[in-house]
């Protein structure tokens, strides 16, 4: 029984998380994600979940660590500076193989930056912003509808692989109101069991959640096993969208808010007879290297467009490996380019 509602991206992600069986949310105020915190305050307790405004982002992510260890679906949300504060805790989640969903409504940076949409947190999200060898599953929605869908998917993937999942959004996606068809609520009791969870050692041996192994060969073994799961994720969970790529001569690559704007660029370009297409990564990790490599064989140029100085661009160039030209167009500081700005760039390579 799907319901269509008008809501902001932040609300859509919050409601979708609750419907996915979220039972513990911990957050701290920071713009532009306050609506998530406020939505959880108003709605999560009614759904039988625990809501708490933490004393800091550091505390919030560690509360998630505790709740995830207890076996419930746990989530926190923040924006760039706050996500930086969570990074130690995220490394511990990864090291303890705990599922958890982290939402980053990213903003202009570095430092306090501003509250405008930006994509300068790509490296932090996809390359391991915390310490140690680990990965996060990183999902990048570009519309309110997709944000709701990916919020549910984030919990499923995180539980399945015991890998924390990060939703990389921004204030534009979070604040914009759109019609959203929400998924039906799920009963947490119907989710796959978590025999590793800390529920009290009744009728079984004690369970332990830790990321600590002093003996190097032991820690190596733990990390090797985790990397086997990462390889499985890379093989099975890459998601992307292609728009007008069949005959494209110039291929745009953009994600999230920029991916949405790039769709308009493709439409306007095509109206003018420009053979432009778009590949929009939906999972930033695992990254869609293979489809980009395939398209690199037949396009004249792959233009990466980001709200950064060129972070995803590095992954695009790793995928292309010199098969075609790889120009870049980016804006900094929370400035969002218009479709016309980008189309001008496309015309340079068409």
Interface positions with another protein (CB under 8 A): 23-24, 26, 50, 52, 54-56, 58-60, 62-72, 74, 88-89, 92, 96, 198-203, 206-212
CA distance 208 to 278: 46
Residue 26 or 230: the one with the smaller Cβ distance to another protein is 26
We find the least distance from the C-beta atom of residue 297 to another protein, in angstroms, to be: 46
Residue 193 or 273: the one with the smaller Cβ distance to another protein is 193
Residue 210 or 290: the one with the smaller Cβ distance to another protein is 210
We find the least distance from the C-beta atom of residue 273 to another protein, in angstroms, to be: 57
We find the least distance from the C-beta atom of residue 50 to another protein, in angstroms, to be: 4
Residue with tokens 């306007």: 268
We find the least distance from the C-beta atom of residue 28 to another protein, in angstroms, to be: 11
We find the least distance from the C-beta atom of residue 155 to another protein, in angstroms, to be: 15
User: Which residues, 6+ apart, have CB-to-CB distance to 190 below 8 Å?
Assistant: none
By C-alpha distance, which of 37, 92, 89, 83 is closest to 59? 89
Residue 86 or 107: the one with the smaller Cβ distance to another protein is 86
How far, CA to CA in Å, does 263 sit from each of 85, 198, 245? 34, 46, 12
Residue 128 or 288: the one with the smaller Cβ distance to another protein is 128
Which tokens sit at 35?
A: 């609506």
Q: Determine phi and psi for 269, rounding to 5 degrees.
A: -65, -45
We find the least distance from the C-beta atom of residue 127 to another protein, in angstroms, to be: 21
Residue 54 or 238: the one with the smaller Cβ distance to another protein is 54
How far, CA to CA in Å, does 252 sit from each of 259, 291, 335? 9, 13, 19
CA distance 7 to 333: 27
Residue 157 near residue 150, CB atoms below 8 Å: no
Is the four-CA dihedral 27, 32, 34, 40 of positive or negative sign? Answer: negative
């Amino acid at each position: 029984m799907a319901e269509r509602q008008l809501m902001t991206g932040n609300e859509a992600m919050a409601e979708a998380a609750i419907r996915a069986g979220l039972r513990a949310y911990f957050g701290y105020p920071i713009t532009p994600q306050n609506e998530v915190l406020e939505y959880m305050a108003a709605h999560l307790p009614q759904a039988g979940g625990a809501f708490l405004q933490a004393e800091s982002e550091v505390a919030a992510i560690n509360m998630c660590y505790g709740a995830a260890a207890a076996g419930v679906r746990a989530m926190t949300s923040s924006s760039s500076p706050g996500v930086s504060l969570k990074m130690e805790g995220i490394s511990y989640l990864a090291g303890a193989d705990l599922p958890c969903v982290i939402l980053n409504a990213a903003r202009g940076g570095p430092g306090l930056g501003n509250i405008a949409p930006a994509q300068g947190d790509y490296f932090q999200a996809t390359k391991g912003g915390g310490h140690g060898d680990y990965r996060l599953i990183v999902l990048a929605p570009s519309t309110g509808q997709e944000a709701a869908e990916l919020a549910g998917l984030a919990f499923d993937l995180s539980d399945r692989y015991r890998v924390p999942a990060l939703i990389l959004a921004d204030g534009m996606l979070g604040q914009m109101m759109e019609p959203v068809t929400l998924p039906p609520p799920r009963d947490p009791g119907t989710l796959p069991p978590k025999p590793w969870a800390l529920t009290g050692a009744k009728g079984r041996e004690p369970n332990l959640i830790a990321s600590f192994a002093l003996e190097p060969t032991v820690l190596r073994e733990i990390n090797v096993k985790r990397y086997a799961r990462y390889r499985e994720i890379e093989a099975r969970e890459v998601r992307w969208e292609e728009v007008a790529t069949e005959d494209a001569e110039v291929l745009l690559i953009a994600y999230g808010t920029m991916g949405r704007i790039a769709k308009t660029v493709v439409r306007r370009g095509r109206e003018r007879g420009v053979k432009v297409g778009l590949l929009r990564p939906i999972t930033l990790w695992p990254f869609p290297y293979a489809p980009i490599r395939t398209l690199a064989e037949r396009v004249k140029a792959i233009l990466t467009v980001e709200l950064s100085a060129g972070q995803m661009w590095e992954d695009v160039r790793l995928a292309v490996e010199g098969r075609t030209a790889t120009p870049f167009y980016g804006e900094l500081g929370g400035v969002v380019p218009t479709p016309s700005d980008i189309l001008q760039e496309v015309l340079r390579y068409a």
